[in-house]
Amino acid sequence: MVWTFERSDTTVEVWRLLVFKSGHVAGRILHGPDGMYRFYTGGGGAGTSLLQQPYLQDRDLEKLKAEIRDLA
């Protein structure tokens, strides 16, 4: 399966990468002002709970991407 990461919404303190699995949105990575990268499943649309917990998180973006690529 092919995983790709595309930069999306960006502000001064927070930015987001959309995570695609074989061309379909599988989740998103948010980088918060605390320096932590967090991977959330799903596209984050209007139906996404505001209280959703991150599926994976790490301070190293490349390490987090590697963990995502290891997912089945």
Express each pLDDT in 6-45 by its tens digit: 888 666 566 788 999 988 989 999 888 899 999 998 766 6
Work out how many domains the chain is built from and give that number: 1
Q: What is the span of the domain harbouring residue 14? A: 3-69
**In whole angstroms, what is the distance from residue 61 CA to residue 64 CA?**
5
Answer yes or no: are the C-beta atoms of 4 and 14 closer than 8 Å: no
Q: Is the pTM here over 0.75, yes or no?
A: yes
If DSSP codes are grouped into helix, strand and coil, which group holds residue 63?
Answer: helix
As a whole number, mean pLDDT of residues 2-6 equals 89
